[in-house]
């Protein structure tokens, strides 16, 4: 694995855009949009004030509840993919790589071929999960909103609030910039980016009524402008995705609608998801690379909805989803599919990540509870997180999620959470940005925090785990992009406040758990010795 890194060198044109947002305001001001322009000016001023992020991790008073999750096919599949025995109760961190290799070399394992199986490779790779910030990869003069690897990990793309999109060659473990593109019609910022299935193009979305498609390695000119033909004066496309075949673009907008655009005919279809016109659709995603018609959405009301493009009615009526999934108390910020057509995860402003089985939706008679969401009146962009969200006292009626993760903080922006790479880790982990400036990695099999990587001074909005290398690249509103990997004994380092931090599970004492009836002895059982004999 190569760790030779190169730094992004700031060039003069990178620094010429300090007044770009205000100039954009002047172009857009007219008699009908004065109030809108003033609002953007205030947002620009507030956004450039010094932002301070609390470094304290949330206090979660309940252990993760694994009773439902342990009986799901997903739990058993992840264990198998991760190289763990099917009868194990708890992942064993004491397994010795040296002993496993010695047994193989001495012919003590059942396999006599002399090589490890894919699940054994993942078992070994999971011993080297990224756990510390190695270096600062890039620094800019504005907030960094997006960083993302393409499917094979050969390219890394970043987008910052200076309206610049930068493409880097990441194929060999080094990060050399190979292209820089000036985004069009940005407004507040570049909100989302997605790679085309062919790998030759990417699309980005902004506070505008256009989808933009650009060649990855070509010129800096936009290849396609695809207009939504909306009537509203201000559009924000918070999430954009290519269809599995690349023929269609789908985006979630701030007017309760999703928009599907055919790239060849430029025909646009609107899908109205809510009866009100003000509900933000913060996240959209296809559920599998094999399903071009099946996709999901997540809105500001906290509801995840499953859609089939073949069953949609007239565009001027409120569309009926195939099914709905209740469980979040506040808005969805991101959705990531497991790419098997059955499971997805969602990150939410209620400070939780949930895994959903798309085959088990909320019963129709329970979906009416949607009208009571979000549960609390607060603005995640600048208000403190309500403490009720960290430790809810009851489960929502109709919650069909199979697993819930708590311990990270969702503030200021639509923070991403994702499954770890399937080839490398067997998707044993969920990793997410955090309002404390950390990268939080959850162990799916235990529900607890595996690593909490420090290194940023403001929220980590986006991050991406390399498909085949144990590397995570993270982007933050502190204007930096960090390179994170594994380091032996990194979890015993000193924190900035002088205390010691261990990157293992952040959990309360067993005594308190026992008093509240939440401690179970079987949760403390270790796995049987893993000896590569399966």
In the predicted structure, residue 434 carries a pLDDT above the cut 80: yes
Structure-token match 């060999």, residue found:
172
pLDDT at 277: 82
Name the 3-class secondary structure at 73.
helix
In the chain, CATH 2.130.10.10 sits at 228-407
Query: Residues 82-114: pLDDT tens digits?
Result: 988 877 766 655 666 777 777 777 776 655 556
Name the 3-class secondary structure at 219.
coil
The beta strand positions in 59-108, using DSSP E, are none
pLDDT at 190: 94
Its CATH architecture, for the domain 228-407, is 7 Propeller (2.130)
Q: Are β-strands 155-160 and 323-325 bridged in parallel, bridged antiparallel, or unpaired?
A: unpaired
Q: What is the rounded average pLDDT of the residues 141-165?
A: 95
Element (H, E) at 299: strand 294-299
Q: Tell me how far apart the terminal alpha carbons of the chain are, to the nearest angstrom.
A: 29
pLDDT at 95: 64
Q: What is the rounded average pLDDT of the residues 280-286?
A: 97
- Phi, psi (rounded to 5 degrees) for 406: -135, 150
In the predicted structure, residue 509 carries a pLDDT above the cut 50: no
* pTM given for the model: 0.83
pLDDT at 231: 62
Query: Residues 385-426: pLDDT tens digits?
Result: 999 999 998 899 999 999 999 999 999 999 999 999 999 999
DSSP code, position 216:
S
Between the CA atoms of 248, 253, 256 and 261, what dihedral angle is there, to the nearest 10 degrees?
-20
pLDDT at 114: 60
Q: H helices within 259-370, ranges in order?
A: none
Between the CA atoms of 1, 156, 142 and 187, what dihedral angle is there, to the nearest 10 degrees?
-170
In the predicted structure, residue 513 carries a pLDDT above the cut 60: no
Query: Residues 325-359: pLDDT tens digits?
Result: 999 999 999 999 999 999 999 999 999 999 999 99
223: left (phi over 0), alpha (psi -120 to 50) or beta: alpha
Most confident of 2-11, 273-282, 294-303: 294-303
Task: Give the integer Cα–Cα distance in Å for 383 and 60.
Answer: 20
Q: Which residue has the higher pLDDT, 480 or 234?
A: 480
Q: What is the rounded average pLDDT of the residues 452-463?
A: 97
In the predicted structure, residue 232 carries a pLDDT above the cut 80: no
Q: What is the rounded average pLDDT of the residues 150-170?
A: 95
173: left (phi over 0), alpha (psi -120 to 50) or beta: left
pLDDT at 101: 75
Q: Name, in order, each residue with C-beta under 8 angstroms of 381's C-beta and a sequence gap of 6 or more.
A: 411, 412, 413
Query: Residues 8-45: pLDDT tens digits?
Result: 444 444 434 434 434 443 444 343 344 344 444 444 44
Q: What is the rounded average pLDDT of the residues 358-378?
A: 86
pLDDT at 50: 40
pLDDT at 222: 64
Rounded to the nearest integer, the mean pLDDT of the chain is 82
Q: What is the rounded average pLDDT of the residues 221-250?
A: 82
- Phi, psi (rounded to 5 degrees) for 365: -70, -10
Q: Name, in order, each residue with C-beta under 8 angstroms of 397's C-beta and a sequence gap of 6 or more.
A: 366, 369
Task: Give the integer Cα–Cα distance in Å for 394 and 327.
Answer: 11
Q: Are 469 and 420 in contact (CB under 8 A)?
A: no
CA angle 30–33–36, rounded 5-degree value: 135
Q: Which residue has the higher pLDDT, 106 or 210?
A: 210
**Whose CA is closest to 472, among 176, 196, 193, 134?**
134
Distances in whole angstroms, Cα of residue 272 to Cα of each of 55, 253, 317: 40, 10, 7
Q: Which residue has the higher pLDDT, 21 or 136?
A: 136
């Amino acid at each position: 694995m190569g760790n030779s890194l190169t730094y992004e060198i700031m060039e003069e044109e990178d620094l010429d855009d300090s007044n770009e947002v205000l100039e954009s305001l002047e172009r857009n001001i007219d008699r009908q949009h004065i109030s809108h322009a003033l609002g953007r000016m205030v947002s620009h001023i507030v956004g450039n004030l010094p932002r301070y992020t609390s470094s304290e991790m949330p206090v979660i008073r309940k252990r993760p509840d694994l009773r439902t999750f342990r009986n799901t096919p997903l739990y058993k599949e992840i264990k198998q993919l991760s190289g763990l025995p099917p009868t194990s109760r708890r992942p064993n961190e004491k397994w010795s790589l040296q002993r496993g290799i010695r047994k193989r070399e001495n012919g003590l394992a059942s396999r006599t071929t002399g090589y490890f199986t894919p699940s054994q490779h993942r078992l070994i790779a999971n011993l080297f999960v990224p756990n510390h910030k190695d270096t600062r990869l890039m620094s800019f003069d504005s907030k960094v909103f997006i960083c993302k690897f393409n499917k094979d990990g050969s390219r890394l793309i970043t987008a910052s609030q200076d309206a610049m999109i930068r493409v880097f060659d990441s194929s060999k473990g080094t990060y050399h910039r190979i292209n820089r593109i000036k985004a069009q019609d940005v407004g507040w910022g570049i909100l989302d980016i997605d790679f085309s299935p062919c790998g030759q193009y990417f699309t980005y979305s902004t506070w505008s009524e256009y989808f933009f498609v650009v060649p990855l390695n070509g010129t800096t000119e936009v290849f396609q402008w695809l207009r939504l033909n909306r009537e509203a004066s201000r559009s924000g496309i918070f999430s954009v995705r290519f269809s599995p075949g690349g023929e269609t673009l789908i985006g979630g907008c701030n007017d309760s609608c999703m928009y599907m655009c055919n790239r060849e005919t430029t025909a646009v279809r609107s899908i109205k998801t809510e009866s009100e016109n003000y509900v933000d659709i913060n996240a959209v995603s296809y559920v599998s690379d094999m399903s071009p018609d099946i996709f999901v959405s997540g809105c500001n009301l906290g509801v995840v909805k499953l859609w089939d493009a073949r069953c949609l009615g007239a565009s001027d009526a409120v569309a009926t989803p195939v099914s709905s999934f209740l469980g979040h108390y506040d808005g969805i910020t991101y959705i990531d599919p497991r790419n098997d057509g059955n499971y997805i995860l969602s990150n939410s402003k209620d400070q939780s990540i949930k895994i959903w089985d798309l085959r088990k939706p909320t019963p129709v008679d329970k979906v009416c509870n949607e009208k009571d969401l979000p549960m609390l009146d607060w603005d995640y962009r600048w208000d403190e997180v309500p403490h009720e969200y960290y430790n809810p006292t009851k489960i929502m009626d109709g919650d069909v999620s199979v697993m819930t993760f708590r311990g990270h903080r969702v503030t200021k922006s639509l923070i991403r959470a994702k499954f770890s790479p399937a080839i490398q880790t067997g998707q044993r982990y969920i990793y997410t940005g955090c309002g404390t400036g950390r990268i939080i990695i959850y162990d799916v099999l235990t529900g607890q925090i595996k690593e909490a990587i420090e290194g940023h001074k403001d929220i980590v909005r986006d991050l991406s785990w390399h498909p085949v290398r144990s590397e995570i690249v993270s982007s933050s509103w502190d204007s930096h992009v960090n390179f994170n990997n594994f380091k032996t004994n990194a979890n015993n380092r000193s924190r900035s406040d002088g205390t010691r931090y261990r990157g293992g599970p952040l959990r309360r004492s067993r005594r308190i758990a026992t008093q509240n009836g939440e401690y179970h002895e079987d949760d403390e059982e270790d796995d049987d010795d893993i000896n590569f004999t399966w």
